[in-house]
Amino acid sequence: MLSRWLPGTTIELKRNAAYWDRANVQLDRVDYQIAPDQNSQFSAYRAGQLDMTDTVPPNAIESLRKEHPQELVIAPLLATAYYGLNLEGPLLQGNVKLRQALSMAIDRSRLVASLALGQIPAFGLVPPGTWNYVPQRWKWESLVDADRGAEARRLYAEAGFSRNAPLRLRLLFNSSPSIKQTAIMVAAMWKEELGVDTALTDEEFRVFLESRHDKHKWDVVRLAWTADYNDASSFLDILRAKSSNNDTGYSNPLFDKFMDEAAKTSDPDIRSGLLAKAERSMLDDYPVIPLYYLVSKRLVKPYVLGVKPNLLDRVGSKELSLLPH
């Protein structure tokens, strides 16, 4: 139960004496500290002001693995980092070959190896582990690097571009070391494989939240989606034509038709098949470029018991207890 709330600072919860399963609740009180960013949260943890974090700064991962491996918890997560393509702008609208070339030119294995945070290369939008669903993938996922690059260059040329007449893109992303590193690497891959010139725009998160909705400011935008619930529709719904989360402007009546039919059926197998058809039709249109599936990252003090990593990264206080320390 809420016992104290200091906006922007602390939310204090106390044990609910009327809770039906109160005999299995070990903690009398839980304080949630509001941190302005992951670095301040990390500093508070190291100073003993926090028993557990909900994220870890990427630049601290390597040292933590060496010095405090028992406190670092990294686990699969139902979340996808991807680039959205501006389908209302003149460069990418109506040019599927160009959009496919941009996706194929990215070496995702090299990208995640460089980030070294446990991410998995993504060749579709819906992550592995999603309930009752076989995630769809681009068929060229299995191509060796040389063949993938050659096909990307062929499509790029057919789309009307070359090294002498290169595509010029504006890539927008929010400030974060790993997000910026990703942008720099992708821009370098586009340049290396195709000759694309990419202008990078790095914005503070609150500013970025406004800019992502202004398609005059970008051709490509860095986005990510974390599942609200364990189901493929949590990811696919964001690309419905009328979705407020559809920053790309993507609109395909066939995709929406499959999504509508899936929403109306109660048969889980039929529904799964319809969602797969929707994802496949969307992937064929290349409105987005999935980059990698994210992982959850947190630090947990050795005296905190009951933290069980899960695909939705939800840790209930009911499951936790503390050893004397």
pLDDT for res 28 = 96
Judged by DSSP in three states, 106 sits in coil
pLDDT for res 116 = 78
- C-alpha to C-alpha distance for 142 and 128, rounded to whole angstroms: 17
30-61: pLDDT as tens digits: 999 999 888 999 999 999 999 999 999 888 99
pTM score, whole prediction:
0.91
124-149: pLDDT as tens digits: 999 999 999 999 999 999 999 999 99
Produce one character per residue of 186-196: b if its CB has 16 or more CB atoms within 10 Å, e if not. Answer: bbebbeebbbb
E-only strand ranges, the chain = 2-6, 10-14, 29-33, 72-85, 120-121, 168-174, 197-203, 220-226, 288-299, 304-305, 321-322
Please report which confidence band the pLDDT of residue 296 belongs to, taking 50, 70 and 90 as the band edges.
Answer: very high
- C-alpha to C-alpha distance for 85 and 246, rounded to whole angstroms: 11
Please report which confidence band the pLDDT of residue 109 belongs to, taking 50, 70 and 90 as the band edges.
Answer: very high
- 321 - beta bridge partners? 305
138-182: pLDDT as tens digits: 999 999 999 999 999 999 999 999 999 999 999 999 988 889 999
Question: What are the backbone dihedrals phi and psi of residue 2, each rounded to the nearest 5 degrees, phi first?
Answer: -70, 125
Q: What is the mean pLDDT of residues 63-86?
A: 96
pLDDT for res 235 = 98
Q: Closest by alpha carbon to 285, among 84, 110, 135, 111?
A: 84
DSSP state of 260: H
Q: Is 12 exposed, middle or buried (0-12, 13-18, 19+ CB in 10 A)?
A: middle
DSSP state of 142: G
